[in-house]
């Protein structure tokens, strides 16, 4: 990945709806070059998705998940990521295996999300940390 790729990714992170022509103007290159670079970055897995960031609801929490040793972390992570209230999922090293960022409207909804995560047979434990302020 070179400097142009890094600048391209930064522009897409800022506004994923930006057209290839607009990106090309910002980078001082052609639309075809931008299209080819985006295709390559998607094909090699550097760009995994074009997403929308929404305003936070009312309650945001980090749910730390510990799973059984013989279970593939990525399988559980994908299951958690498919939940509508889950904003992001990270596979991590340390005392826990997965951290999920959850964004909900009520404590009841948060409890439902945690219970759904815990319902998977391979989950050993969860620990939830409430976000007080997002900068």
Q: Which CATH architecture has domain 59-130?
A: 2-Layer Sandwich (3.30)
Structure tokens at 44: 């090699």
With b meaning 16 or more CB within 10 Å and e meaning fewer, what string describes 84-112? ebbbebeeeeeebbbbbebbbeeeebbee
The pLDDT tens digits of the residues spanning 4-41 come to 999 999 898 888 889 999 999 999 999 999 999 999 99
Q: Which CATH architecture has domain 3-43?
A: Orthogonal Bundle (1.10)
How far apart CA 8 and CA 50 sit, in angstroms, is: 13
What residues contact 2, with CB distance under 8 A and at least 6 apart? none
User: Any idea where the domains of the chain sit in the sequence?
Assistant: 3-43, 59-130
Residue 109, phi-psi category: left (phi > 0), alpha (psi -120 to 50), beta (remainder): alpha
Three-state secondary structure call for residue 120: coil
Report the pLDDT averaged over residues 117-121.
Answer: 93
The pLDDT tens digits of the residues spanning 63-87 come to 999 999 989 999 999 999 999 899 9
Better-scored residue on pLDDT, 58 or 66 = 66
């Amino acid at each position: 990945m070179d400097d142009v790729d890094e600048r391209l990714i930064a522009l897409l992170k800022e506004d994923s709806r930006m057209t290839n022509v607009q990106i090309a103007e910002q980078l001082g290159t052609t639309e075809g070059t931008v299209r080819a670079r985006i295709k390559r970055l998607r094909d090699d897995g550097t760009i995994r998705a074009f997403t929308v960031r929404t305003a936070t609801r009312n309650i945001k929490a980090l749910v730390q998940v510990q799973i059984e040793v013989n279970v593939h972390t990525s399988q559980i992570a994908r299951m958690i990521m498919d939940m509508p209230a889950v904003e992001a999922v990270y596979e991590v090293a340390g005392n826990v295996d997965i951290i999920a960022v959850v964004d909900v409207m009520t404590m009841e909804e948060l409890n439902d999300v945690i219970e759904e995560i815990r319902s998977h047979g391979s989950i050993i434990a969860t620990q939830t940390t409430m976000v007080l302020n997002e900068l």
